[in-house]
Amino acid sequence: MSIQGIILLVPALLFAISVHEFAHGFVAYRLGDPTPKYQGRLTLDPRAHIDPMGALMLLLFRFGWAKPVQVNPSYFKDQRQGMAMVALAGPAANFISAYVFLLTVNILPSMFSPQVGIVLYQFLLLNMQLNLGLAAFNFLPIPPLDGSKILAWLLPARYGFSFRRLEMYGPVILLLLLATGMVGRLISPILSVLRYLLFSLPRFR
């Protein structure tokens, strides 16, 4: 990757991760859990969310992790629903961010000189793609990804409980899927649906 590519990629990654984790913490806090606030997670400052090793892995291999937001579901009126809402908040925030970047990608660059406009266009497009990709990845129903918590809520209670017991094996399953290239195949249909929804939303003309 070129120096320019890295310069554009790093802030885009930091933003995508930060908005994702902030959304988890914000929704948990709004549902009554003070834990994210006490731990300083109600901020978009990347320093509150970045795991150094996870960020390096993400930069080098496009697979990594952030510092997970700790949530205490005992504060929620409905624990299963509350956890699902907190889980949904992360990828939803990334999808909304992708939409904002889509709205601006053909407008902001035209306000600058061609040289600056080209770089700005590339940066906005990269942000849109990263946020959409992060949303799709986290929608995978594999523990500990957000999609698994959403699925656990959608399933009948007894099946949801059994499904949550798979969390201890989730990281191993995820690594195996990554190593075999299956993650890309699993993400592809989710990404297609998100892209369709994204480009179906109203835009400035």
**Catalytic, out of 21, 27, 91, 148:** 21
In whole angstroms, what is the distance from residue 12 CA to residue 125 CA? 10
- Alpha helices (H) along the chain: 3-30, 35-38, 52-61, 79-105, 114-138, 146-154, 157-164, 170-179, 182-200
Cα separations in angstroms, 17 against 54, 76, 166, 191: 11, 25, 25, 18
The pair of structure tokens assigned to 68 is 């997970």
Task: Tell me if residue 167 is catalytic.
Answer: no
* Residues with active-site annotation: 21
